[in-house]
């Protein structure tokens, strides 16, 4: 698109020590708006501490800039965060670094706005991601978008803006469409702090996935609110293990 967009990448020490090895990738979608690749990059220090443990298979973690309307395309705002991520950033990373450039080696993770975005993307692009970890998302807003035929009108803000994000471009509609398609579903983990105000809507979305018979896991951290950093301090190892095919729910 000829638009300069930044990203941060965490590269484990073993990447420069083992020059023959190809590495898994995990793309992290930040919360909040507007997009900024630095919003969640401080998680990399926690990820590094966990990956230094020899029981963890190292991966590249890429921190994505979601655009002006985080993780959506928006003609109104002239910002195309979804297309830049899917069509440009992923191919760029695979061409630039030694990655396992296929579905089985590619994970997706996000929190809050990014948790919603990760869930939409997994159902829109199931061929791209083997594992998806979605935390802290307000699925109440996703249901509202479905009911409003593509318009997001978040009632929680003092100065609420209305955005058109596309009819059917919500986690409820996309999950149903995906289920009907018969395509393979990425392995999904929903996660939340026990004191996160979005927990009730996450549980409602979990029930919806149960109705659709879409397999998924759920991870809850006690005494954690809407904060991915504290969640990672408590249960970050679980999230990292999930993307390598293992998860320990003891906490």
Average pLDDT over residues 176-199: 98
- Neighbouring-strand partners of residue 28: 63, 109
**pLDDT value of position 26:** 98
174 SS3 class: helix
Q: Which residue carries 């979601």 as its tokens?
A: 66
**Per-domain residue ranges of the chain:** 8-243
CA angle centred on 191, ends 190 and 194, rounded to 5° = 135
The CATH number of 8-243 is 3.40.50.1820
For residue 100, what pLDDT band results from cuts at 50, 70 and 90?
very high
- End-to-end CA distance of the chain: give it in Å, rounded: 45
For helices 171-181 and 199-212, give the axis angle rounded to 10 degrees: 20
pLDDT digits (tens, 9 = 90+) for 103-136: 999 999 999 999 999 999 999 999 999 999 999 9
C-alpha to C-alpha distance for 45 and 48, rounded to whole angstroms: 5
Q: 71 near 29, Cβ under 8 Å?
A: yes
**pLDDT value of position 248:** 41
pLDDT digits (tens, 9 = 90+) for 196-215: 999 999 999 999 999 999 99
**pLDDT value of position 249:** 38
Phi, psi at 52, each rounded to 5°: -65, -20
As a residue count, the chain comes to 251
**pLDDT value of position 155:** 62
pLDDT digits (tens, 9 = 90+) for 13-45: 999 999 999 999 999 999 887 777 778 888 999
Q: 117 near 165, Cβ under 8 Å?
A: no
Total-model pTM: 0.93
**pLDDT value of position 159:** 58
**pLDDT value of position 1:** 57
């Amino acid at each position: 698109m000829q638009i300069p967009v930044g990203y941060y990448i965490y590269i484990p020490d073993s990447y420069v020590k083992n020059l023959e090895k190809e590495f898994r990738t995990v793309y992290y979608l930040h919360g909040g708006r507007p997009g900024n690749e630095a919003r969640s990059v401080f998680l990399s220090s926690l990820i590094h501490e966990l990956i230094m443990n020899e029981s963890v298979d190292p991966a590249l973690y890429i921190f994505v800039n979601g655009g002006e309307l985080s993780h959506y395309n928006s003609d109104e705002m002239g910002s195309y965060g979804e297309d830049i991520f899917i069509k440009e950033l992923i191919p760029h990373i695979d061409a630039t670094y030694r990655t396992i450039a296929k579905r089985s080696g590619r994970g997706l993770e996000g929190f809050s706005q990014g948790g919603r975005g990760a869930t939409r993307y997994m159902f829109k692009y199931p061929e791209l991601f083997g594992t998806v970890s979605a935390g802290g998302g307000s699925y109440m807003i996703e249901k509202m978008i479905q009911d409003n035929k593509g318009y997001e009108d978040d009632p929680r803000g003092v100065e609420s803006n209305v955005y058109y994000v596309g009819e059917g471009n919500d986690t409820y509609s996309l999950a149903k469409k995906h289920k009907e398609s018969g395509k393979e579903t990425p392995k999904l983990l929903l996660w939340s702090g026990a004191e996160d105000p979005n927990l009730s809507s996450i549980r409602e979305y979990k029930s919806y996935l149960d109705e659709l018979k879409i397999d998924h896991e759920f991870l809850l951290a006690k005494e954690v609110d809407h904060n991915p950093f504290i969640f990672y301090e408590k249960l970050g190892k679980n999230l990292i293990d999930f993307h390598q095919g293992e998860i320990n729910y003891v906490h």
